[in-house]
Structure 1
């Protein structure tokens, strides 16, 4: 136990030494072991440079109280930073002239070399055009909202909202790196930004804490504005010079260290902020005391916990290891028993794990698959869809359920994101299930239900219409008996009534024939009458859409067919041909007997089918029609019905000329 204590103490002392070194390096720019009393006097070269340069120009933000602003009473430019620059002037022995600008202009002037330096938060983007000095003080930036705003709690709540902020402020770069979809209103200063909240144009304002606090107090906005509890960020403020001006940067760093040694910042802070100011970090002595106390507390707690836990640690570790092993094996068995394909992917689409179903599908083991991109196992079309789904999951940071139509198959794709923490996604689980058969069955059942409903409706309509038609025919007959032979007008009207009754009766017969459900019965059928019955129901549609429909078939062509199946084939082919002739055209339906059965052709003069699509038209759910205009199952049903009856189908097409479907159906045995 004594050896363990000694080791713990040695480790603690080492950690304390390293911590203090880091602390001193952060605060003073050097380690404890470095020369703390090194010379900060200006070199001869630096003195000559200042003499040739003359006065330095400090580019200041014109309206950022209490850091820098124009005093309304004295009309003099003053503030915390102005006092610091004046102190810097005395330290380097050179006059510094202050010029005030709107902040964005101050940055542009420095970049153009029209001013010599200004103070700012350092950042990666700014580091491309400026060099930065050692830090001079620390400043917090806070977020304010309307007092009745309960929706914005953190910066992540700013997604999709509007933030008012001065142009070129560091806060813009900070927010863009961490939150997406923020709308910015750019202003000249914080005061204008606060007005945007009061007007209702902005949801929040981001700015320096002293600056915002000044204006809230000045305009008495305590009841209108509230500050979020935590600072958005706290960063060190530095002096910036134009990129490459190393001599001026060295001069300013020496001035900063001199002012640091003289405790100038606390004195200026006392003037502008009193004891409550928070622009300077705690003194080094306070931090050392705090770290020392924490160190000894940690040592004591570590020794106590080590004493209490050492005896039971190994047992607990072994027990938990066994439980984890059993749990892992159970999860693996469950994972591999799922018949859908499951992939565990990282954010780049690299496979971390797959289940047995996918390994069987591609005939590779897990070790061979792991570490490779999922996209490597599929062609471009499937890979693009997978990438799109993974990308959407990562953007939305929530699970998705998508249906993907790939090469005539319907897949149900589910994704489940794994989050490393509340903001960062660590991996994505993807589950893929082929639901093509289910979708086809659903559509076929829906179609069958519709046909049954149409049959019931047609039967009812026929019954209800035929009764009054019988009455009309009977009363027309009675009227005819009583009308004089010389009354030609009345007799002509009666003839029209008789013709109309006959035509309506014929339409009812066709409707009943069309809607009658024949099931799987094979019957001897007159092909011409069968086709005409179907066409007659479409006559009004053909006339309305300028389609000339011709039926070419011998009136004595009889053959045993499955009427229900053949009806579905003709209806789908007519519908497909009609859709292909939006401007009208000619539709020819021909049938003739051959040695082995029946040859039926459906010929249209429509838009045709291109060569790239013709091999896919019989795939389920394949369609090039507008959404809502087709299910992509019409020709699939035709193909299946023909195969079920032992026939075959051929298609010939030329774009903008037309398409011909040729069906060969064998003669069936009557049932």
Structure 2
């Protein structure tokens, strides 16, 4: 069975691993796909990736603001590439798409941007030399060796234009060996060189000069930016001699080239370009120059949007599914762990219960036993399986004396202390404890049954030993008390023997004296025997004033010798039902302590009264009293402040135990030098349910 459990756990571990591994792979793939789609969306809309978008969305740093305050921003570019950038001959103003973007950057930064027009090649040289800060261009590997590049500002196509009569050009591959022209330094030269196309270049400073050569049939083609080529064709080719090849030479993003030393400016421009993109400024500029239907940016299509939404929904759904599976699996694992812990805890508890010598059992509200320890099952000579499920009342004759289980349940439910003793081939003490649920509702009872036979036997032996000590202490007084009636008897017997002429009156008087003396001696001996015999639990009828009188008679000689006055005020009439032996020993010990506390004489007062259903007996003396420090210890066994031989230290301990046996309590009030009062309060047995 253990092997099967281990095997099941291994299989479950493998399944958990595969589920975790496969789910993690799927989530990772979906997450990567989502990143790709979102990244593509961001790139198409903002011409940067997600990382760049996040970086460039941050506000300008302190370092970047300080750079703007210390430096001037100078933009230089081609002065004759309409409509991108050119000098208007009528107004002398520098205009174009790029110039409007530069103005938008200036407005966003709230700093002026200085504009310097150059021919294309001169602008590149001045940027490299640091005379200007920025210049719009196509990025390339060759140019990256000289310049830094910002994020793109727009996309631009390059095209080929040739004469209508030239039928041999359909793409850039057909330019091999032909004579062509483009503004000097234009990216088209680098592009065709990288493609391995050798063109015989006739370099001119701007596109207008190149177009003149083509119209004059001095070259085979012109290569350049589509808006610029179209602009000059419309303006210069009135006879429609030229044609634009339908195949695009290339389409690339245009950026601002930055001087290699201006890394900070690059970060500033990247952040500014993103901000004006978010505001839609670049799109508006393109619409201004090329119309609503024309845009150099690739619009985000509805399919791209739907792809993002779909992947996002799938990712979220799978993530939620995985979290639910993970949570459910963890919950199952936690439940299994808790179940195992509960099982182990139950076994531990059962082991602890079985290790105790007390008889213990748990019962529900119907008295059905739900658990029992080994000590109980051994005592009743049944197995645990036989005991569990049986009714607790089945053992009432053997070990459980209460006939009404519901009475115990109700007492515990009321939070009343439930503890009692009984004797059945031994002495047992039963204590009942509540077992509550999480709502603090009583659901079960725990019965703890202690075998106190040996304890009670030991206590009875202690009581008997204490009695023998008192008998020894009282021996001299008792001998004197018996000697007095014996002397009287002897005298009257002698008189009767020697005086033959005794009259009937004298004879009757002698017989009465002898009879009274014998009765007195018998009473003293009876009291002594009653006190010295082993104590029992017998409950009987007692007349309290007579009971106290008999106890005092045992101490009368001692009190007389010590000059102690005794006063008894018993306000209880009629018979009482109580344990006579317990009460006798309580009073003997308290009275003996009071006598010993008055070595130079004093007053002893005993007051008896009823207080409701309780009996109250107070014993007061005018002795030496008890210190506050000692008063807390007087009920401990063997505690005494007297000389060796004057006491055992068990008197008040036994009195305390006997008072609690009567279901009562003992209270002491004392003041050093003034005396002590011991008050015992206990119920009349007739008013108790035993």
Scaled by the length of structure 2, the TM-score of the pair is 0.39
Scaled by the length of structure 1, the TM-score of the pair is 0.40
Larger radius of gyration between Structure 1 and Structure 2: 2
